[in-house]
Amino acid sequence: MGGAIDELVKRNLDHRADSESARAARPGLRVAVLTCMDARIRPGVAMGLELGEAHVIRNAGGLVTEDALRSLAISQGALGTREVMVVMHTRCGLEGDEHELRKELARAAGLAPPFPLGRFASLERALREGVQRIRTTPWLPHRDQVRGFVYDVDEGRLREVEI
């Protein structure tokens, strides 16, 4: 019990903070990346992010939820980011049928969450809708550099989707 968390705490003891590096809260590249929680995605590694360069927002799917918009509002309005990169990915567990997933979660816990799980039938359509949702949110100050990408979890490669 508690094995995984204990392991991560142990690994943290071997981590050394970059003493010279970014101590400022404002991301150096002035960009926020929104992507999926998926274990096969390491945004820092895949995009070579250095400490202090970007905000990284992650949830199941990389969906533009109200909570993602809350995070983006703070990222832009208080911490100076100007661009938003939405990165969804191949073989995402959220691609599929909402009802099937709801049944699966109800089986696991005895009951299902009291709100939609955000499952989608088409990855590219979900990405387009997400990018458009950001672009049309009036209380976000910077909406002219919002772009959408699909990350291939097998190849490790980003592909931009024109939106």
Which tokens belong to 123? Answer: 């990855």
| 55 to 84: interface string for a second copy, x by CB under 8 A | xxxxxx----xxxxxxx-xxxxxxx--xx-
Note whether 20 binds a second copy by CB under 8 A: no
Min CB(42)–a second copy separation in Å: 5
Q: What is the dihedral of CA 80, 81, 82, 87, to 10 degrees?
A: -170
Q: Tell me: does residue 147 bind a second copy (CB under 8 A).
A: yes
Using the rule CB under 8 A, is 140 a contact of a second copy? yes
Q: Which is nearer to a second copy, 82 or 128 (CB)?
A: 82
Please identify which residue in 22, 99, 121, 125 interacts with a second copy, judged by CB under 8 A: 22
Residues near 68 by beta carbon (within 8 Å), at least 6 away in sequence: 34, 57, 59
Does residue 93 bind a second copy (CB under 8 A)? yes
- Rounded CA gap, 30 and 78, in Å? 12
Binding of a second copy at residue 44 (CB under 8 A)?
yes
Q: CA–CA separation, 125 vs 127, rounded Å?
A: 5
State the distance between the two ends of the chain, measured CA to CA, in whole angstroms.
Answer: 46
Q: Does 47 bind a second copy (CB under 8 A)?
A: yes
Element (H, E) at 147: strand 146-152
Q: Per rule CB under 8 A, is residue 163 in the interface with a second copy?
A: no
Rounded least distance, CB 40 to a second copy, Å = 6
